[in-house]
Amino acid sequence: MKDELKLWERIRSGDTRAVKELHDTYYYQLYLFGKKICHNPSIIDEVVSDCFIKLWIKRNDLAIERSVKSYLFLMLRNGLIDALRRKDRTLYLEEGTIPDLPDEGMHSELDRYALLYTALEKLPEQRYRILEMAVFESCSYAGIAERLNISVNTVKTQMGRAYRFLKEELDPKSFQLLFILKTPTQ
């Protein structure tokens, strides 16, 4: 939190690199939280970007003393609600449809999801596609091999390399999220 407040002071003094650093740190977490409110990726992306732009524009008027992260989540939640209202003038919200702002436990879970997605992006394209088909689409190795026109042994090798890389790259809790994300077989 001290580092976050130092970053905020740099932003307030006009350091654009500090805004970029803040963006790189929290973009994925904000995006994932936004998916709980809105299912339109372009709206989420736009509102998340707006959060950073507004933070920059209003940096001299804001008095953030405790947590820039919490302020960003609050801006995002309110921004998404406003965007959904503009999109559909008759927005009816059922109780419990808008999630509460994340607490520290939720922040750490979002941190782990962000780490997982960052690690997945580092995989070579074919390895990522094979892992995606196996984990998210519940395809068998034979099915993946057939769809990608490669051998089953290549699939096994690529899966082993993907898991090994992710185990090295991630802490155990973040690695386990990969299996939580797995979609059930239809």
Q: What's the CATH number where 141 sits?
A: 1.10.10.10
Is 185 part of a structural domain of the chain? no
Which of 34, 62, 87 is at the close of a domain? 87
Domain count, the chain: 2
- In this predicted structure, what is the pLDDT of residue 182? 47
Query: Given phi > 0 = left and psi -120 to 50 = alpha, else beta, which region is 62?
Result: beta
> 50: closest CA among 31, 37, 35?
31
169: domain range?
Answer: 104-180
Q: Are residues 69 and 7 in the same domain?
A: yes
Structure tokens that stand for 74 in this block: 């609050």
Question: 109 and 45, same structural domain?
Answer: no
- Binning pLDDT at 50, 70 and 90, where does residue 156 land? very high
Q: What is the pLDDT of residue 2?
A: 65
pLDDT value, residue 101? 54
Question: What integer pLDDT is reported at residue 150 of this predicted model?
Answer: 94
Specify if 74 maps to a domain: yes
Residue pLDDT, tens place only, 35-74: 888 888 888 989 999 998 888 888 888 887 778 888 888 8
Q: How confident is the model at residue 122 (pLDDT cuts 50, 70, 90)?
A: confident
